[in-house]
Amino acid sequence: MVTSLDDAKRIAIASKLADMKEIQALLMENEQTLMSACNDEEIRQRLQDMLEDDRKNMGILETVIVQYGVKGEPKSTTQEMVKSVKRLMQGSELSLYEKFAQHELLKHGQTMSGLLIHKAAQVVGADVEAAITPLNTVNFENRAHQEQLKGVLEVIGVRELTGKEAEQGLWARVQDAVAALSGVAGSVVSRTDDEMNIQDVIRMDHQKVNMLFAQIEGSDNPQKIQEYFGQIYKDLTVHAEAEEQVVYPAVRSFYGESDTQELYDEQAEMKLMLDSIKAMSPSSSEFKQQVKRLKDAVMDHVRQEESTMFAAIRNNCSDEQKERLATEFKAAKAKLQERLAATMK
């Protein structure tokens, strides 16, 4: 039998993602604190724009965490650090320059965490890389924010030290640096669309599970096979249940009773297969045969969803409805992941 659905490397990445979420919340709080402490209109405007990016990036981080499908807790040291930074930012021990410098350091750390997760994903598996792709946008913006904060530090630092204004031309230089970033860092830091509709979100899940099947097929290492199957088990269970809670009831009226029912029935079948495979040994030859059977069933089901069900959604839902379904689907998945993690303990 598959001894554990969890894998240490995957949990470590999940914990790093949870750390990033803590830091993201701190960054947003800092930006508000700094805005009220600073009376330079131009700098306040910069901070306001940064805060808007960071709010959006928090949403992307939450999407990535759900898409990744492994639950992690932030490290206790991260939580301690967040507390002490908050105290320093609100207190009067640090000058404004020192507060901005602290903020810039945090941004740097956040950029590095994003890049580190990207590199770790390359080592752990293609399915992880697929799940964390939207993080590239966050990495890009954090990197751009760092450049802007360097500019702010220069202005405020010169004022604190001399009471005079720094030589001008600063913002133009910052803009140039930001523009150069996409060229330097390539695809790891690039912008992508942030509004996803329900078809995008479902398709991402399908691609991820497809990669996991390919990884099992390509491996002879029972340890690796167990790791990939554990992820397939969790992802498919959560994906299917979220579809049954959010998507199938919403499409039933226009997709048709019999086609919708067929999707429910196929998923019931898949659930039985998942549990029977879970009871087998990952090193047995039967294990791989049954995984192949499951894969064929899943791919058949996926084809139906992506062809006729997606077409029905395109023809019957407004853009706004499609985006709302995506939000509901992600929220349902997050809840189901919590529940699944709790039952596995």
Q: Give the residues lining the site for Fe ion (CB under 5 A).
A: 243, 305
Are 298 and 235 a contacting pair, CB within 8 Å? Answer: no
Query: Which one, 100 or 248, has the nearer CB to Fe ion?
Result: 248
CB of 260 to Fe ion, least distance (A): 11
Q: What is the DSSP string of 114-155?
A: HHHHHHHHHHH-HHHHHHHTTHHHHHHHHHHHHHHHHHHHHH
CB of 244 to Fe ion, least distance (A): 8
Are 249 and 309 a contacting pair, CB within 8 Å? Answer: no
Query: Which one, 90 or 261, has the nearer CB to Fe ion?
Result: 261
CB of 248 to Fe ion, least distance (A): 8
Query: Which one, 150 or 203, has the nearer CB to Fe ion?
Result: 203
CB of 243 to Fe ion, least distance (A): 5
The token duo for 196 is: 């996803």
Query: Which one, 141 or 305, has the nearer CB to Fe ion?
Result: 305
> H or E segment at 29?
helix 8-37
Query: Which one, 86 or 203, has the nearer CB to Fe ion?
Result: 203
Q: What is the DSSP string of 175-192?
A: HHHHHHHHHHHGGGS---
CB of 202 to Fe ion, least distance (A): 5
Query: Which one, 153 or 297, has the nearer CB to Fe ion?
Result: 297
Indicate the angle between helix axes 319-344 and 222-242, nearest 10 degrees. 130
The token duo for 157 is: 């630092």
CB of 71 to Fe ion, least distance (A): 21
By residue count, the chain amounts to: 345
State the number of CA atoms in the 13 A half-sphere of 145 facing the CB.
31
Contacts of residue 288, Cβ cutoff 8 Å, sequence gap at least 6: 216, 217, 225
